[in-house]
Chains A and B, each alone.
Chain A
Amino acid sequence: EAGVAQSPRYKIIEKRQSVAFWCNPISGHATLYWYQQILGQGPKLLIQFQNNGVVDDSQLPKDRFSAERLKGVDSTLKIQPAKLEDSAVYLCASSLDRAVPRNGYTFGSGTRLTVV
Chain B
Amino acid sequence: AQSVTQLGSHVSVSEGALVLLRCNYSSSVPPYLFWYVQYPNQGLQLLLKYTTGATLVKGINGFEAEFKKSETSFHLTKPSAHMSDAAEYFCAVSDVRGNQFYFGTGTSLTVIP
- Mark A residues whose CB is within 8 Å of B: 4, 6, 9, 33, 40-45, 48, 55-56, 91, 93, 98-100, 102-105, 107-110, 112
Question: Does A102 lie within 8 Å of B97, measured CB to CB?
Answer: no
Closest Cβ neighbor of A98 among chain B residues: B99
- Chain B interface size, under 10 / 10 to 19 / 20 to 34 / 35 or more: 20 to 34
| A43-B90, A102-B49, A102-B51 known; A110-B43 Cβ under 8 A | yes
Could you list 13 further interchain pairs (A-B, Cβ under 8 angstroms) beyond the known A40-B9, A43-B101, A100-B32? Answer: A40-B105, A41-B106, A42-B4, A42-B90, A56-B100, A91-B43, A98-B99, A99-B98, A100-B99, A100-B101, A103-B49, A104-B34, A109-B41
Question: Does B43 lie within 8 Å of A108, measured CB to CB?
Answer: yes
Which B residues lie within 8 Å of A44 (CB)?
A: 103
With the chains together, A103 CA to B36 CA distance in Å? 11
Which B residues lie within 8 Å of A4 (CB)?
A: 43
Inter-chain contact total with CB atoms closer than 8 Å: 65
8 Å CB contact of B43 from A40, A48, A109 = A109
With the chains together, A107 CA to B90 CA distance in Å? 13
